[in-house]
A and B are shown apart, each in its own frame.
Chain A
C-alpha cells in the first residue's frame, strides 16, 4: 500500500519535481545528492532524521537565506494523487527558507503521505482545530505565464525536491 502511494506521488511529480526515496539511516547521503551549497534549513522533526551532520546551516540569518542556493524544511503531509506537500510554519523561519531559496528541498516521512485531497483535509482540519496556523499546499516550483509563456521560478523556488523517508 505504502509503496504504491509513493509511486503515485512520484508519478504525479514527474518532470515537475524530483523525488528521492531514502531510509532514515541513509538520509544524510541522500540529502547530499539533493542540495546545492550553500544550503540553509530548519530542524526536521522526523524521528532519526537530522540536519546536524550535513552541510546545511540550521540557524540562518535573513542574509544567509538570501545568499543560499538551497533551503531545506520539513513537510507536514504529502498528497499522493496531486504530488502536493504541505509546509507547516513554526517558530523557526521555515516559511522564509522554503520560499526565498532557488532550490527547495522538503523532507517528508512516508507515513505522512495520504492518498488524496479528502484524506489530506481530514488531517488539515484536525491540525487547524488544534491551533496550527499555516499550511501551504505546495506542488512543484513556483511558476507564471504572465509574460506570454509558462516559466518556472518566479517569487518562489525554481526547483523543488522531496526527500521521502521510507521507514518513518
Chain B
C-alpha cells in the first residue's frame, strides 16, 4: 500500500509535467460524457419522462454508472492498454519482478485525466440527490455507496477480462468496448427501458443490473424490498470468473519475443 502511494504521487507529478496537454485531455474526456448528459437533457426537454422516471432520477442513475466507470478506468487504466504491454515485451519484464503481475499493472498507469468525468458525475449527484425527492436515511446512503462500489468492481473486472483475452489474441478485442464504454453510455437509463431481454442479459451474463437497476429501484422508493440494496455485493462475485480467466490466460502466455 505504501508502494502504491509512492507510485500515485509519481504518476501525479508526471501528469503535471505537461500542463496544457493534461488540461486539454481532461476537458476532452469531460466533453465526451458531457455530450451524453446534454443528449439526456435534450431528450427530456422533449419527452419530460420515460417509463415514469424523472430527469433528476435519471441523472442520479447516470451519475452512479459514470462515477464507477471513471474510478475503475482511472485506477485500472493499465489493463485497458494491455495489448500494447504484451506487444512491446513490457509484460516479460513484469513477470520477472517479485510482485504479482496484477499489482504491477495497476501501478503502471493512473489516468488522472478522468477527473473531468468524475467532476461531472459529482455535479449530477448533487443535483440528483436534491431534486429527486428521495427521503434520505442511512439505508439509502448505504445503497448509493454500494451502487458505486459494485459498479467500480464490475467495470474493473471487465477491464481484467479484456486484458486476459489479450493473452490469447495478442490484441485488444474491439467487441469488449460494448461491455465497457457501451455500458457507460447506455447505463445512463435504468436498464429496464431497453426491454426484458437486455435486462436479463445484464443480470445473468454481466451483472450490471445488480448494481444499477435493482438497487436503483430501492433507492427511488419504487420497491420496499431492502434485499435489493445488497445486490451490488452479490455482483462483486463477478470477480471470481474474471480472475480465473486471468489465471488461465497467464498460464497460456507466450512471449511475443520483442
- Do A and B belong to a common assembly? no
Interface on A for B, CB 8 Å cutoff? none
